[in-house]
Amino acid sequence: MRSKSILATLCSMLLVYASLAESATSAAIGTLSSDGRAELNGTVTTAGATIFAGDRIVNPDKASTALSLTGGSRLILAGLGSLQMKETGGHPTARLESGRLAVLSHANAPIVVEAAGTRIHGVNGDAVYAVTVSGNNLQVIASKGGAEVEGAGRTVQVSAGNTLDARMLPADSNNGDSGAPGAASEGALRFFTFERVVIIATAGASAAALGAAIKSLLRTCRVTGSPSTVSCD
Protein backbone atom coordinates (compact mmCIF):
# COMPACT_ATOMS: atom_id res chain seq x y z
CA MET A 1 0.00 0.00 0.00
CA ARG A 2 2.82 2.32 0.96
CA SER A 3 4.65 1.64 -2.32
CA LYS A 4 1.48 2.51 -4.28
CA SER A 5 1.18 5.80 -2.40
CA ILE A 6 4.82 6.69 -3.10
CA LEU A 7 4.38 5.82 -6.79
CA ALA A 8 1.29 8.00 -7.06
CA THR A 9 3.15 10.92 -5.46
CA LEU A 10 6.09 10.52 -7.84
CA CYS A 11 3.76 10.44 -10.85
CA SER A 12 2.05 13.64 -9.69
CA MET A 13 5.41 15.37 -9.26
CA LEU A 14 6.51 14.30 -12.75
CA LEU A 15 3.34 15.73 -14.27
CA VAL A 16 3.89 19.07 -12.50
CA TYR A 17 7.54 19.29 -13.54
CA ALA A 18 6.68 18.35 -17.14
CA SER A 19 4.09 21.12 -17.25
CA LEU A 20 6.55 23.65 -15.85
CA ALA A 21 9.24 22.59 -18.30
CA GLU A 22 6.86 22.94 -21.23
CA SER A 23 5.89 26.48 -20.14
CA ALA A 24 9.53 27.43 -19.68
CA THR A 25 10.44 26.36 -23.22
CA SER A 26 7.36 27.91 -24.89
CA ALA A 27 7.84 31.31 -26.48
CA ALA A 28 5.59 34.13 -25.28
CA ILE A 29 2.97 35.07 -27.87
CA GLY A 30 1.63 38.23 -26.23
CA THR A 31 0.49 40.09 -23.14
CA LEU A 32 -2.91 40.49 -21.50
CA SER A 33 -4.73 43.37 -19.86
CA SER A 34 -8.25 43.42 -18.42
CA ASP A 35 -10.66 45.88 -16.83
CA GLY A 36 -12.34 43.05 -14.92
CA ARG A 37 -11.47 39.90 -13.02
CA ALA A 38 -10.39 37.84 -16.01
CA GLU A 39 -8.96 34.41 -15.23
CA LEU A 40 -5.82 33.04 -16.86
CA ASN A 41 -5.60 29.26 -16.49
CA GLY A 42 -8.05 29.35 -13.58
CA THR A 43 -6.38 32.20 -11.65
CA VAL A 44 -7.45 35.85 -11.59
CA THR A 45 -4.79 37.62 -13.64
CA THR A 46 -3.08 41.00 -13.50
CA ALA A 47 -2.47 43.54 -16.25
CA GLY A 48 0.62 42.81 -18.29
CA ALA A 49 0.50 39.04 -17.78
CA THR A 50 2.43 37.12 -20.42
CA ILE A 51 0.45 34.79 -22.69
CA PHE A 52 1.81 31.47 -23.93
CA ALA A 53 0.41 28.88 -26.34
CA GLY A 54 -2.03 26.67 -24.43
CA ASP A 55 -3.20 29.42 -22.06
CA ARG A 56 -6.95 29.72 -21.48
CA ILE A 57 -8.68 33.02 -20.69
CA VAL A 58 -12.12 33.21 -19.06
CA ASN A 59 -13.89 36.56 -18.90
CA PRO A 60 -16.57 37.48 -16.36
CA ASP A 61 -19.66 39.34 -17.50
CA LYS A 62 -19.20 43.05 -18.41
CA ALA A 63 -15.39 42.71 -18.44
CA SER A 64 -13.17 43.54 -21.40
CA THR A 65 -9.89 41.67 -21.83
CA ALA A 66 -7.32 42.69 -24.46
CA LEU A 67 -4.49 40.56 -25.81
CA SER A 68 -1.61 42.29 -27.58
CA LEU A 69 0.23 39.71 -29.65
CA THR A 70 3.81 39.78 -30.86
CA GLY A 71 3.79 41.21 -34.37
CA GLY A 72 1.02 43.69 -33.63
CA SER A 73 -2.22 41.72 -34.01
CA ARG A 74 -4.69 42.24 -31.16
CA LEU A 75 -7.75 40.60 -29.65
CA ILE A 76 -10.46 41.92 -27.33
CA LEU A 77 -12.74 39.48 -25.52
CA ALA A 78 -15.83 41.60 -24.81
CA GLY A 79 -18.03 40.46 -21.94
CA LEU A 80 -18.73 36.96 -20.73
CA GLY A 81 -16.77 34.37 -22.70
CA SER A 82 -13.70 32.16 -22.93
CA LEU A 83 -10.94 31.34 -25.38
CA GLN A 84 -7.74 29.34 -25.58
CA MET A 85 -4.58 30.51 -27.32
CA LYS A 86 -2.63 28.11 -29.52
CA GLU A 87 0.21 28.34 -31.99
CA THR A 88 -0.03 26.61 -35.36
CA GLY A 89 2.74 26.75 -37.94
CA GLY A 90 4.43 29.61 -36.10
CA HIS A 91 1.25 31.73 -36.08
CA PRO A 92 -1.05 32.36 -33.09
CA THR A 93 -4.54 30.86 -33.13
CA ALA A 94 -7.39 31.88 -30.84
CA ARG A 95 -9.97 29.16 -30.20
CA LEU A 96 -13.12 31.01 -29.15
CA GLU A 97 -15.19 28.66 -26.99
CA SER A 98 -18.00 31.13 -26.27
CA GLY A 99 -18.66 34.85 -26.22
CA ARG A 100 -17.69 37.82 -28.40
CA LEU A 101 -14.19 38.43 -29.76
CA ALA A 102 -13.00 41.48 -31.72
CA VAL A 103 -9.91 40.85 -33.86
CA LEU A 104 -7.24 43.05 -35.47
CA SER A 105 -5.20 40.80 -37.75
CA HIS A 106 -2.10 42.39 -39.29
CA ALA A 107 -1.24 41.14 -42.76
CA ASN A 108 2.40 40.62 -41.72
CA ALA A 109 1.44 38.82 -38.48
CA PRO A 110 -1.91 37.13 -39.14
CA ILE A 111 -3.98 35.38 -36.53
CA VAL A 112 -6.54 32.63 -37.08
CA VAL A 113 -9.72 32.32 -35.02
CA GLU A 114 -11.35 28.92 -34.54
CA ALA A 115 -15.02 29.19 -33.61
CA ALA A 116 -18.06 26.89 -33.82
CA GLY A 117 -16.12 24.37 -35.88
CA THR A 118 -14.80 26.92 -38.41
CA ARG A 119 -11.50 28.66 -39.12
CA ILE A 120 -11.68 32.42 -39.63
CA HIS A 121 -8.93 34.71 -40.89
CA GLY A 122 -8.60 38.23 -42.25
CA VAL A 123 -8.25 39.00 -45.97
CA ASN A 124 -7.31 42.03 -48.08
CA GLY A 125 -4.41 43.20 -45.90
CA ASP A 126 -4.95 44.35 -42.32
CA ALA A 127 -8.38 43.22 -41.16
CA VAL A 128 -10.70 44.09 -38.29
CA TYR A 129 -13.60 41.77 -37.62
CA ALA A 130 -15.62 40.35 -34.73
CA VAL A 131 -16.71 36.79 -34.00
CA THR A 132 -19.58 35.74 -31.72
CA VAL A 133 -20.30 32.15 -30.66
CA SER A 134 -23.52 31.19 -28.89
CA GLY A 135 -24.26 27.47 -28.90
CA ASN A 136 -24.18 26.33 -32.54
CA ASN A 137 -24.73 29.88 -33.79
CA LEU A 138 -21.88 31.85 -35.35
CA GLN A 139 -21.75 35.53 -36.27
CA VAL A 140 -18.86 37.25 -38.05
CA ILE A 141 -18.91 41.05 -38.50
CA ALA A 142 -16.31 42.47 -40.90
CA SER A 143 -15.38 46.12 -40.26
CA LYS A 144 -12.13 46.51 -42.23
CA GLY A 145 -10.54 44.43 -44.96
CA GLY A 146 -12.70 41.35 -44.73
CA ALA A 147 -12.86 37.86 -43.26
CA GLU A 148 -12.94 34.36 -44.67
CA VAL A 149 -14.89 31.66 -42.81
CA GLU A 150 -13.97 28.07 -43.60
CA GLY A 151 -16.23 25.17 -42.62
CA ALA A 152 -16.47 21.59 -43.83
CA GLY A 153 -16.55 21.69 -47.63
CA ARG A 154 -17.34 25.40 -47.87
CA THR A 155 -15.61 28.77 -47.54
CA VAL A 156 -17.60 31.99 -47.16
CA GLN A 157 -16.14 35.48 -47.65
CA VAL A 158 -17.48 38.33 -45.53
CA SER A 159 -16.52 41.68 -47.02
CA ALA A 160 -16.09 44.87 -44.98
CA GLY A 161 -19.45 46.26 -43.90
CA ASN A 162 -21.20 42.90 -43.94
CA THR A 163 -22.21 40.32 -41.32
CA LEU A 164 -22.40 36.54 -41.60
CA ASP A 165 -25.07 34.85 -39.49
CA ALA A 166 -24.79 31.06 -39.54
CA ARG A 167 -25.86 27.95 -37.73
CA MET A 168 -23.19 25.24 -37.67
CA LEU A 169 -23.64 21.49 -37.37
CA PRO A 170 -21.02 18.73 -37.12
CA ALA A 171 -20.28 17.10 -40.47
CA ASP A 172 -21.56 13.77 -39.10
CA SER A 173 -24.86 15.22 -37.85
CA ASN A 174 -26.92 13.02 -40.21
CA ASN A 175 -27.41 10.64 -37.31
CA GLY A 176 -29.67 13.26 -35.72
CA ASP A 177 -27.18 14.37 -33.06
CA SER A 178 -26.61 18.08 -33.62
CA GLY A 179 -23.64 18.08 -31.26
CA ALA A 180 -22.16 21.32 -29.95
CA PRO A 181 -19.26 23.58 -30.98
CA GLY A 182 -17.65 22.88 -27.62
CA ALA A 183 -16.78 19.42 -28.86
CA ALA A 184 -14.36 21.02 -31.31
CA SER A 185 -12.56 22.82 -28.48
CA GLU A 186 -10.85 19.62 -27.35
CA GLY A 187 -7.89 18.42 -29.42
CA ALA A 188 -7.75 19.06 -33.15
CA LEU A 189 -10.36 21.27 -34.78
CA ARG A 190 -13.27 19.28 -36.20
CA PHE A 191 -14.82 21.24 -39.06
CA PHE A 192 -18.56 21.88 -38.91
CA THR A 193 -20.91 22.35 -41.86
CA PHE A 194 -23.04 25.41 -42.59
CA GLU A 195 -26.64 24.36 -41.89
CA ARG A 196 -27.82 27.93 -42.50
CA VAL A 197 -25.85 30.97 -43.59
CA VAL A 198 -27.04 34.53 -44.28
CA ILE A 199 -24.96 37.55 -45.30
CA ILE A 200 -26.49 40.91 -44.38
CA ALA A 201 -25.35 44.53 -44.44
CA THR A 202 -23.96 45.56 -41.07
CA ALA A 203 -25.74 48.41 -39.35
CA GLY A 204 -23.63 48.10 -36.21
CA ALA A 205 -22.31 45.65 -33.67
CA SER A 206 -24.95 43.53 -31.95
CA ALA A 207 -23.79 44.52 -28.46
CA ALA A 208 -22.43 47.75 -27.00
CA ALA A 209 -19.32 46.07 -25.59
CA LEU A 210 -18.53 44.50 -28.95
CA GLY A 211 -19.05 47.80 -30.75
CA ALA A 212 -16.64 49.53 -28.38
CA ALA A 213 -14.08 46.77 -28.91
CA ILE A 214 -14.28 47.11 -32.71
CA LYS A 215 -13.86 50.89 -32.49
CA SER A 216 -10.83 50.41 -30.27
CA LEU A 217 -9.21 48.10 -32.81
CA LEU A 218 -9.90 50.54 -35.66
CA ARG A 219 -7.72 53.19 -34.05
CA THR A 220 -4.29 53.86 -35.56
CA CYS A 221 -1.79 51.56 -33.83
CA ARG A 222 1.97 51.14 -34.14
CA VAL A 223 4.27 48.26 -33.27
CA THR A 224 7.58 49.28 -31.71
CA GLY A 225 10.48 47.81 -29.75
CA SER A 226 11.78 44.32 -29.15
CA PRO A 227 9.90 42.47 -27.80
CA SER A 228 7.23 44.35 -29.70
CA THR A 229 4.67 46.55 -27.96
CA VAL A 230 1.59 48.20 -29.41
CA SER A 231 0.65 51.86 -28.91
CA CYS A 232 -2.56 53.38 -30.27
CA ASP A 233 -3.72 56.93 -30.94
Compute CA 13 distance to the chain's CA centroid, rounded to the nearest angstrom: 31
Q: pTM for this one? A: 0.78
pLDDT in tens, 157-188: 999 999 999 999 987 755 444 444 444 444 56
pLDDT in tens, 107-140: 888 999 999 999 999 999 999 999 999 999 999 9
Q: Where are the domains of the chain?
A: 28-232
pLDDT range class, residue 13, cuts 50, 70, 90? very low
CA atoms within 13 A on the CB side of 150: 10
**Strand locations in the chain, DSSP E?**
28-34, 39-40, 43-44, 49-52, 56-59, 64-69, 74-88, 91-105, 112-115, 118-122, 127-134, 137-144, 146-151, 154-159, 162-170, 192-201, 221-224, 229-232
* Domain 28-232 in CATH 3.40.50.12170: no
pLDDT of residue 208: 77
User: To the nearest whole number, what is the mean pLDDT of the chain?
Assistant: 81
Q: Which of 82, 84, 104 lies closest to 93 in space, CA to CA?
A: 84
pLDDT in tens, 64-111: 999 999 888 999 999 999 999 998 877 899 999 999 999 999 988 899
